[in-house]
C-alpha cells in the first residue's frame, strides 16, 4: 500500500508537470504567471503561438513565439523568470531583426539590429542594462549614419553624423550627457555650415554660421549660455 501511494503521488506530479496550456489562458500577477481563475502560480508547458516551460509562475529555459504564418518571431531564454543568454527576434519574412544577450534580466554585451534586407541597422553595447561604449547607426546602403559614445546610457564623447553619401554632416562632443567643446556641422558638399562651442552644457564664445558657398553669414557671441552680441559682415 505504501509503494502504491508513492507511485500514485509520482503519477499525479507527472500529470501536473506535463500540463499544456495556451498563453491566452494565463494571466500575470505580481510578476508571476497563473492559470486563469486559479490562485497558485502555474507550472507546466505553454503551447501554441507562444511555447515554453513555466515553473512556479516563472518562465524557464527556451521560449519561442511565432507569427500567424508559423514563422518564428522570438527565441529567448529565461532563468527563474529573468531573461538570460541569447535573444533573437525575426521579421515575418524570416530575416533576423535583432540579436542580443541578457544577463540576470538585463541587456549585456553587443546588440545588433538589422533591416529586412539583412543589412546591419544598429549596433549597441550594453553593460548591466545600460548602453556603454560606441553606438553605431547605419543607412540601408551600409554607410554609417551616426557614431555616438555612451556611458551608462548617457552621451559621452564624440557624436559623429554622416550624409548617406559618406560626407561628414556633423561632429559634436558630450560630457556626462551635456554638450561640451567644439561642435561642427557641414553642408553635403563638404563646406562648413556652423561652428559653435559649449561649456558645461551652455553656449559659450563665438558661434559662426556660413553660406553654402563658404561665405560667413553671421557671428554670435555667447557667455554662460546668453547671447551678448551679433556681428554681421
Domain ranges across the chain: 2-231
Residue 42: its pLDDT value, please? 96
0.95 cut: is pTM over it?
Answer: no
Residues of the chain with pLDDT under 50: 1-16
Q: CA-CA distance, 142 to 64, in Å (whole number)?
A: 30
Residue 18: its pLDDT value, please? 57
Cβ burial, residue 131 (10 Å; 0-12/13-18/19+): buried
Residue 11: its pLDDT value, please? 41
Q: What is the dihedral of CA 216, 193, 179, 154, to 10 degrees?
A: 180
Q: What is the CATH number of domain 2-231?
A: 3.90.930.1
Residue 233: its pLDDT value, please? 87
State the cell numbers at 92.
515575418
Q: Are 141 and 156 in contact (CB under 8 A)?
A: no
Residue 158: its pLDDT value, please? 97
Q: CA-CA distance, 32 to 38, in Å (whole number)?
A: 12
Task: Reduce the DSSP state of residue 95 to 3 states and report it.
Answer: coil
pLDDT digits over 16-53, tens only?
455 899 999 999 999 999 999 999 999 999 999 999 99
Task: Reduce the DSSP state of residue 227 to 3 states and report it.
Answer: strand
Amino acid at each position: 500500500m505504501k509503494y502504491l501511494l508513492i507511485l500514485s503521488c509520482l503519477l499525479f506530479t507527472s500529470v501536473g508537470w506535463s500540463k499544456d496550456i495556451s498563453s491566452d489562458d494565463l494571466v500575470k500577477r505580481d510578476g508571476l504567471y497563473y492559470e486563469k481563475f486559479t490562485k497558485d502560480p502555474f507550472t507546466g508547458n505553454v503551447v501554441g503561438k507562444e511555447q515554453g516551460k513555466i515553473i512556479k509562475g516563472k518562465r524557464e529555459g527556451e521560449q519561442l513565439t511565432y507569427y500567424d504564418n508559423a514563422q518564428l518571431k522570438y527565441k529567448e531564454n529565461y532563468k527563474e523568470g529573468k531573461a538570460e543568454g541569447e535573444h533573437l527576434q525575426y521579421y515575418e519574412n524570416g530575416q533576423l531583426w535583432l540579436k542580443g544577450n541578457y544577463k540576470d534580466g538585463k541587456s549585456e554585451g553587443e546588440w545588433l539590429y538589422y533591416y529586412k534586407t539583412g543589412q546591419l541597422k544598429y549596433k549597441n553595447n550594453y553593460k548591466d542594462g545600460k548602453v556603454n561604449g560606441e553606438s553605431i547607426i547605419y543607412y540601408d546602403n551600409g554607410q554609417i549614419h551616426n557614431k555616438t559614445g555612451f556611458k551608462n546610457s548617457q552621451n559621452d564623447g564624440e557624436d559623429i553624423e554622416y550624409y548617406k553619401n559618406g560626407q561628414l554632416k556633423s561632429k559634436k562632443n558630450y560630457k556626462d550627457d551635456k554638450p561640451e567643446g567644439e561642435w561642427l556641422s557641414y553642408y553635403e558638399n563638404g563646406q562648413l555650415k556652423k561652428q559653435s562651442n559649449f561649456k558645461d552644457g551652455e553656449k559659450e564664445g563665438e558661434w559662426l554660421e556660413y553660406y553654402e558657398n563658404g561665405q560667413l553669414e553671421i557671428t554670435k557671441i555667447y557667455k554662460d549660455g546668453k547671447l551678448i552680441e551679433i556681428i554681421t559682415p
